[in-house]
Structure 1
Amino acid sequence: MTAPKSIRIRMYQVGFGDCFLLSFDYSPKPSRHVLIDCGSMASPKGSPPGLIKRVAANIASTVGNDPFAVVATHRHTDHVSGFDPGTTGKGAGAIIAALKPRFVVQPWTEDPGLRTNANAPPARRGMALRRQTLDDLSVVASQVVDRYVPRLRRSPATRAIGSQLDFIGKDNIKNLRAVENLMTMAPNDYVHAGRTTRLTRFLPGVRVHVLGPPTIKQYDNVRGQRDRDKDEFWHLQARSLAMGSKSGTTKSAPLFEGFSSVSGRHAPASSRWLVNAIKTESAEQLLQLVRILDDAMNNTSLILLFECGEQRLLFPGDAQIENWEYALNTPSLRKHLEKISVYKVGHHGSLNATPKSLWKLWFPDGSTPQAAGRRMVSLLSTLEGKHGHRENDSEVPRRKLATALRKRTTLTSTESLDGAEYFDEVIAIN
């Protein structure tokens, strides 16, 4: 089979989430399709009920009986909730599984065969420890949402923080039905930076490069970061919040044994300002911890590059800077990041998911913008007002990044689809 004649990219309107269908035209033979993520955390205003199931049905009508493969870049709800078959087995995930994908590509951290035991090689033991940590952090996120968010939302002083915790916390809950469906709907291909994926054999004439995430053995800084601030920090903090046990039954002891105490509105009027201040500070710290979990999960995200002829399509999921560093600092991988044709904007437009070193590789300081017909195409699946705050320059999508993308690339955002179900981009192979 020769190389495809064109690649059609569908960016589905799922609100705050990702869902992309790549269709490779091998006519007169059947097209081959690759679904990259399917999930949403928040639907756009005015969208029909059952949005993600409607999206799955459209994917099914497009794929039909053609060869089909699935990529799940990482475990966040806004990327995998569409793989949930539902409690009745008739949800979006069941529709996708019925298409009988040839295989499912996921990051190495999702491999269920990674176990912590004395006979495992050191590198595999490191992988297992990181995966177990992410599983434990999902338990923490679940308990934050169930136990702390309702309390914070009752107080005007912490209501906004409670909403942020609710959104980010739910995004980090493990999504068991979706995860199990991804593990069982087809053979799995667990990959890491530099590894060959089954996608290359599946797509004749297309080279698929896995640029991330690296394993701990490949990039030791990931191990160091984990020990200092990311995974291990969460374990310690979970215990201090009495949230470390999966049963959630651990109770904290009184702070000052033998002294009387009061809580909430029962405090003396003269002291309530201090109680509220402490509540706000505690909520801010909890929000910071949940964001650390969010970053840790994003740093397990796949970074895939599809190369065909002169076209290079970059799909980095939600990869953050620590995930990017290995590819950017490894010459054999870095070269693939040059001259990108299509860029799926990382993490819904978060600035730390489009590293400045990557940006300068594409657009060196002092360079002039290309003519419209020769520009990189950038695709942004996002929804404003759901993640971060403008007050501290953490809003998603980041205004400065969006402005730069409009200036330097041909940008299409799901926010501009105006009721359309998806956006089509056809890339001719030359």
Structure 2
Amino acid sequence: MSTPVRLRLRMYQVGFGDCFLLSVEYDGPLPDGRAERHILIDYGTSHSPREGMARGRMGDVAALIEKHTGGKLDVLVVTHRHRDHLRGFEVAAGGTIMKKLAPNLVLRSWTEDPRLSATADGPDGPGAGPAVPDGLTRASVRYAALLSQAQDHVSRLTSLVGLDDDVRAAAEDQLKNADAVALLDELSRDGRGRYLYAGAESGLEDVVPGLRASVLGPPTVDQDPRVAKQREDDPEYWLTALGASLRVVGSAADADDRPPITHGPGPVRWLIDRLAQQRSHSAARLVRDLDDALNNTSVILLLEVGGLSLLFPGDAQIENWRHTLERLPDEPELRDRLARIDLYKVGHHGSRNATPRSLHALWAARPADRPRMAAVMSTRQGVHGEDDGAVPQEQLVTALRQVADLYSTDDLSGGEEWLELVADAARGPFRPVPVPKND
């Protein structure tokens, strides 16, 4: 039987977004005659690379993926619905190539299961409406439906007159990316799609021999209600919050139907300005809450091949992570596996609440016989957030450099279109290899 001998990770230059190709190379051909397997983790961007770098266009990146996979993608993982993780699927050139690559397995969060939309609208009770997908209950199904409703409301916000430009830009990052989702649904048909929650079977082992995959997140609402940020005294948290925000910001349709009115200086102008500010503040709060919620639907994968371990947490924040971290005192085997990580995809582009301190503490105390960890990050600086909300957070970057060699596509100033790390599957460590520069 063929054995994994090498792991190769390519991190594509997309500016601000995630797009990683993990290739497992074997010492001999597998039953299909190929001696490799390819896993693509996310394919999106929200901001292009800085001036002077590779262009990072989604169609160009897709062509590179096609070349690097030899025209066959084995597994596609889309951690969650944000555009900086899936926008490439809505680009015509990218979508065409993804169809050609025809992944055998498509992994997405449980909240993306297309069966949920029909289930959520049905009445409660046995035999009433479509069946709830395995592993979920009505509470989880309803939460997924509320996320969808929230995105619909935010879509309306982007059309409001007088909305602050920064708030409007942030709202656009939360949209459903309908074309991308439609393509993912198509790629997931005929039993190829799996919708993951903590502890679920991913099916990766059947497609990538020699790989062990553990799904650490996201939990369902039933596994950990905190992931939904539900208030104990308000089971309708999402509906209540959204309704309140929408009453303040008004209807997009109403805003579009009103003719523009010019007001001179004075009390009326002051009042209108204050109302516009209040509308932007309410919209910003709604957008922020939705951003947190979608991040906490991120798939967290712990992948182990040979003697190496890789951690891909998407944009999971602390509400998602708690479900795993609180298991560690009673599960020393899981604690040891997380402590011995060889490669870490920096969570949520280096935000302050996506790399738990307790996880970093495990790496700081890692066994002396382990090679130095590698951390990878695809984050254009200066385009998202300010001060404590900016990504990447300098404090986190400093802390990561203490325990790992940190590699970022934002450092590719020579026109490189991707950053590549290679490791011996038996012992590591991951080391960078030169890649051609884009002329």
Summarize the Cα distance change of 1:69–1:269 in structure 2 as closer, same or farther, 3 Å threshold.
same
Supply the AA of the counterpart residue of 1:296: A
Q: Partner of 2:101: helix, strand, or coil? A: coil
Which residue identity does 2:361 align to in structure 1?
A: K
Q: Deviations over 1:3-47 (max 9, x none)?
A: 310110000110111000000001432210000000001101335
**Aligned: 1:376 with 2:381:** no
Could you say if the C-alpha distance between residues 123 and 65 of structure 1 is closer, same or farther in structure 2, counting changes exceeding 3 Å?
A: closer
Matches within 5 A, 1:88-237: 91-114=93-116, 115-116=119-120, 117=122, 118=124, 119=128, 120=131, 123-148=136-161, 151-152=162-163, 162-186=164-188, 187-223=192-228, 225=230, 231-237=238-244
Give, in angstroms, the shift of residue 223 of structure 1. Answer: 4.8
Aligned to 1:349: 350
Aligned length: 396
Q: What secondary structure does 1:190 align onto?
A: strand
Matched, 1:397 2:424: no
Give distance in 2, aligned partners of 1:271 and 1:50: 47
1:409 alignment counterpart: 404
Residue matched to 1:317: 314
Aligned residue type for 1:420: E
Shift of 1:383: 1.1
Q: 1:426 aligns with which of 422, 425, 438?
A: 422
**2-side partners of 1:277 and 1:349: how far apart?**
34
Asked if structure 2 preserves the Cα contact closer than 8 Å seen for 1:212 and 1:304, the reply is: yes
Decide which moves more: 166-175 or 311-320: 166-175
Equivalent AA in structure 2 for residue 35 of structure 1: L
Measured at CA, do residues 388 and 233 of structure 1 come closer, stay the same or move farther in structure 2, by a change above 3 Å? farther
2 CA distance for matches of 1:232 and 1:360?
A: 38
Amino acid at match of 2:201: T
Deviates more, 1:266-275 or 1:351-360: 266-275
**Structure 2: 5+ residue stretches without partners:** 30-34, 427-439
Change in Cα spacing, 1:243 to 1:425, as seen in structure 2 (3 Å) is farther
d(CA) in 2 for partners of 1:223 and 1:407? 33
Asked whether the 8 Å contact 2:23–2:36 carries over to 1, the reply is yes
Q: Compared with structure 1, are the counterparts of its residues 265 and 249 closer, same or farther at alpha carbon in structure 2 (3 Å cutoff)? A: closer
Corresponding residue for residue 43 of structure 1: 48
Distance (Å, rounded) in 1 between the aligned partners of 2:417 and 2:236: 41
- Asked if 2 retains the 8 angstrom alpha-carbon contact of 1:64 and 1:99, the reply is no
User: Closer, same or farther in 2 for the Cα pair 1:224/1:292, shift >3 Å?
Assistant: closer
Structure 1 spans left out of the alignment, 5+ residues: 153-161, 253-262
The structural deviation recorded for 1:126 is: 1.9
CA contact (8 A) 2:249 2:280 kept: no
TM-score (norm 1): 0.84
Confirm or deny: 8 A CA contact 1:164 1:387 kept in the other structure: no
The root-mean-square deviation of aligned C-alpha atoms, in Å, is: 2.7
CA distance 1:409–1:224, change in 2 (3 Å)? closer
Question: Contact (CA 8 Å) 2:245, 2:286: kept in 1 or not?
Answer: no
Contact 1:105–1:191 (CA under 8 A) maintained in structure 2: yes
- Structure 1 residues 140 and 412: alpha-carbon distance in aligned structure 2, compared to 1, 3 A threshold: same
Query: Which amino acid in 2 is paired with 1:312?
Result: S
After superposing the two structures, state which structure 1 stretch, 401-410 or 315-324, moved more.
401-410
| Deviation of the 1:284 alpha carbon | 2.9
Map 1:21-36 → 2, pairs under 5 A = 21-29=21-29, 30-36=35-41
- SS in structure 2 opposite 1:32? strand
- Mapped to 2, the partners of 1:354 and 1:228 lie a distance apart of 29
Q: Residue 78 of structure 2 corresponds to which residue in structure 1?
A: 72
CA distance in 2, matches of 1:19, 1:223: 27
Which shifted more, 163-172 or 107-116?
A: 163-172
Matched residue SS, 1:45: coil
Residue 71 of structure 2 contacts residue 100 of structure 2 at CA under 8 Å; is this kept in 1? Answer: no
Q: Which residue of 2 aligns with 1:84?
A: 90
Once residues 60 and 148 of structure 2 are traced to their aligned partners in structure 1, the CA distance between those partners, rounded to angstroms, is 30
Given residue 5 of structure 1, which amino acid in structure 2 is its aligned partner? V
Cα distance in 2 between the residues matched to 1:111 and 1:356: 32
Number of the residue aligned with 1:58: 64
Report the equivalent of 1:9: 9
CA contact (8 A) 1:137 1:234 kept: no
**Is the counterpart of residue 295 in structure 1 residue 292 in structure 2?**
yes
Describe the shift of the 1:56–1:329 C-alpha distance in structure 2 as closer, same or farther (beyond 3 A).
Answer: same
In structure 2, relative to structure 1, the CA distance for the partners of 1:279 and 1:291 (3 Å cut) is: same
Partner residue in 2 for 1:330: 327
Residues 214 and 323 in structure 1, CA contact (< 8 A), matched pair in contact too = yes
Q: Which moved more, 1:23-32 or 1:331-340?
A: 331-340
1:357–1:274: structure 2 CA closer, same or farther, 3 Å change rule?
Answer: farther
Change (3 A) 1:230 1:3: farther
Q: Distance in 1 between matches of 2:223 and 2:61?
A: 37
2:49–2:56 contact (8 Å) kept in structure 1: no
Q: 1:131 to 1:376 in 2, by over 3 A?
A: same
Instruction: State the Cα distance separating 1:359 from its structure 2 match.
Output: 1.7
Alignment deviations for residues 176-203 of structure 1 (CA, whole Å, 9 cap, x no partner):
1111111112420111111111112111
